[in-house]
Amino acid sequence: MPKDLTDQIIMKDLVFHSHVGVHPQEKAEGQRYELDVVFHCRQLEATGSDLLAQTIDYGQAYRLIKPLVEEATFDLIEKLAGSVADLLLRQFPLAEAVTVTVRKPQAPVPGTFAYMGVQIHRTRDR
C-alpha cells in the first residue's frame, strides 16, 4: 500500500441477510452475512476542517451497501465483495483503495467454525 494512504475510514461488523451461495437452499432461504469495509485515503482534510464534504460519509456508504448485499443473488461471496468494492470506489472519489471482508457464519460446510470468508483489496485506477 502506498505510504501516502495514511487515513482510513472503517465500517466494521455490518450485518445483512442475503441470498448468496451455490446451493439451492442458500438461494431460497438466504442467511446472515457480515461485512467490514475499510476505505484507504490520503490525508483527509476533514481532520482539520471538520467538514463532512471533506471525508467519506459512512452513512451514505451504508445506504449504498445495504441494498446491494440484501438483493444480491450471486453464487460466490468473492463476487459480492468485488461488487461492493467496485461500487464504493465509483461513489467515493476520496477513497484511493478499499478493503472489503465478507464473512459467512452459517456456510453449508460440515464442522465447527466461526465463519468462512473472503477479503479483497482494490485500488483506484488513475
What confidence score (pLDDT) does residue 125 get? 81
- Mean pLDDT across the chain, nearest whole number? 95
Task: Report the CATH number that the domain containing residue 87 is assigned in CATH.
Answer: 3.30.1130.10
What confidence score (pLDDT) does residue 126 get? 52
Any domain includes 2: no
66 is catalytic: no
Q: What is the pTM of this model?
A: 0.94
Euclidean distance between the first and the last CA atom of the chain, given in angstroms as a whole number: 15
Residue segments in the chain with a per-residue pLDDT below the cut of 70: 1-2, 126
Specify the DSSP element, H or E, that contains 26: helix 24-29
Any domain includes 1: no
pLDDT digits (tens, 9 = 90+) for 9-28: 999 999 999 999 999 999 99
What is the domain extent for residue 110? Answer: 7-123
